[in-house]
Amino acid sequence: MKTNTEDIMVERVEGWLEVTLNRPEKMNSLREQTAQEIMDVLNEAEAARDVAAILLKGSDKAFCTGIDTSEFTIGDNEYFDFYRKRRRQRKVNRLFRELPAYSKPIISVIEGYALGGGLELALVSDMIVAGANAKFGLPEIRLGMMPGGGGTQTLPRLIGPALAKELMWTGRRLAAAEAREYRLVNHVTEAGQALEKARELARTIGGNAPLSVMFTKAMIDRGMDLPLAEGMAAEGDASFMLYFTRDRAEGLSAFREKRTPDFRGE
């Protein structure tokens, strides 16, 4: 995995990767370089059979506080040029679009602030584990803006449109306990313990059949936007494909023999 990164730190822990946002002077805000480094690491992890999951985390003070606005300088008569770059070239925008497409589970580990684009980054991961001191919010409306990293689409799918509108229209922050009440996060731990809980989840996921995890993730994500009948048909096709894998045979044998299966993603 890449080690010559400036904005993130990457560490291999057991069977997963831990990617740490490392811009403390900017409260871990995202710039173009940050987005590119994250995508480069995830692209490598996709092809690595020995990587079962990715944990995305920040610091105790801030997971991520959004987009680095210093890169939003637009010169005279350059507005349409910036629009074109946003649609096709800006790496931060690509990160929000592409993160859900990775086949391996991505768990966001949040201590401190997850605001604006930082919350949107967590929302396009697969799960969120938060420490008790975590704070969540989409405050863009207070600055005359609105979410631009998918928040108007991802948040209502998690907590419903009425609550999503309230949070966006007021810009108020949620504490971790309230976020759990709204089912915005999977788990809330004591302050400073979110990483250990996320590692526990990654360890459990890593012990299961990689192809089953991959197909299940794909079916859940695709099925959210499909009619029920189409989603069930897609699930049936994917489930049937697993009948021909080595891991299915190994799982059944291990069950009969009362031993731990040796899954290989084959």
Catalytic residue numbers read 120, 140
Is residue 234 packed enough to be buried (19+ CB in 10 Å), middle (13-18) or exposed (0-12)?
middle
DSSP the chain: -----SSEEEEEETTEEEEEE--GGGTT-B-HHHHHHHHHHHHHHHT-TT---EEEE--SSEEE--B-GGGG---TT-HHHHHHHHHHT-HHHHHHHHGGG-SS-EEEEE-SEEETHHHHHHHTSSEEEEETT-EEE-GGGGGT----SSHHHHHHHHH-HHHHHHHHHH-PPEEHHHHHHTT-SSEEESTT-HHHHHHHHHHHHHTS-HHHHHHHHHHHHHHTTS-HHHHHHHHHHHHHHGGGSHHHHHHHHHHHHTS-------
- Report the 10 Å Cβ neighbour count for 218: 15
